[in-house]
Amino acid sequence: MDTRPIGVFDSGLGGLTPVRQLRRVLPGEDIVYFGDTGRVPYGSRGRDIIVQYARQDIRFLLQQDVKFIIAACGTVSSTYPPEEAARLPVPFTGVVGATARAAVDATRNRKIGIIGTAATVRSGSYAAIIRDMMPDVQIFARACPMFVPLVENGYFNDGNPVTKLIIAEYLQELKDAGVDTLILGCTHYPLLKKMIGDFMGDDVHLVDSGKVTAQAAAAALPPAQSRNSAASADAGIPAARGPQMGRRYQIPEQTGEGHQISTRRLGSLKTSRWM
């Protein structure tokens, strides 16, 4: 059994949505989370800068001796070179592959909408995987650059009038196109899921990239590395926990507002400053 933690990183606080799901599907695992709130958002930056930030985030997690790294960021997942990820000393996964597969499984009319940061939509990463699996699909992609700042600043309460106006501005075209499946291609977006769902209607299936990625990561974790063994679960034995790690959330420049948002997402939240 490998007692090292799982490392998760994102451009800000959005990656806490897959962390919450990881805590549900892998309750015995320790997690180190790094949210780069000091440089959020990543999605409006150029490719070279995004890759540079991703390398720095990964280096930080490797220094924490993690056994598995999850890029809980649609922008990084769409931009970070796969050949570089393959050379990392620990397994690495992003959010794109599993989310795209879930959308293909969900669609009934073969009309799939994709929303994400400008960098994610520009990369065409989701669309490429979806078309490989479903060549006759119709894809409607829309960059939603205001969604991340809205979430980071706490504008995700259900019914917030500012957020509702922006949702309508961004998503009307996808609604008119008749998509029956919509990928929330940034892990910040599940915090707006209720308002997005209300706007799109009950017939549109929303694919939560955070939830899908957590489930895929749990399935990908080799049994020899997992602290959630089937044998222990069947016997009713609680999963082992490390004596020191627990869950650590590294939030640079964490403000009172940021801590408040984080706590509302995950409950009790211990953060430490990273320079």
Which one is catalytic: 186, 191, 207, 269? 186
Q: How many other C-beta atoms are found inside a 10 Å radius of the C-beta of residue 138?
A: 14
Which one is catalytic: 6, 31, 72, 73? 73
Look at residue 75 and give its three-state secondary structure: helix
How far is CA 147 from each of CA 37, 184, 264, 273, rounded to the nearest angstrom?
15, 11, 18, 25
Nearest to 116 by CA among 93, 91, 84, 94: 94
Sheet containing 247-250, strands listed edge to edge, beginning at the edge strand earlier in sequence:
92-93, 68-71, 6-10, 31-35, 247-250, 271-272
CA angle at residue 267 from 164 to 100, to 5 degrees? 55
Is 144 annotated in the active site? no
Look at residue 76 and give its three-state secondary structure: helix
Listed in sequence order, the residues at least 6 apart from 252 whose beta carbon sits closer than 8 Å to its beta carbon are 35, 36, 37, 38, 273, 274, 275
Structure tokens, 64: 């924490």
Q: Indicate left, alpha or beta for 109 from its phi (over 0: left) and psi (-120 to 50: alpha).
A: alpha
Is 73 annotated in the active site? yes
Residues identified as active-site: 73, 186
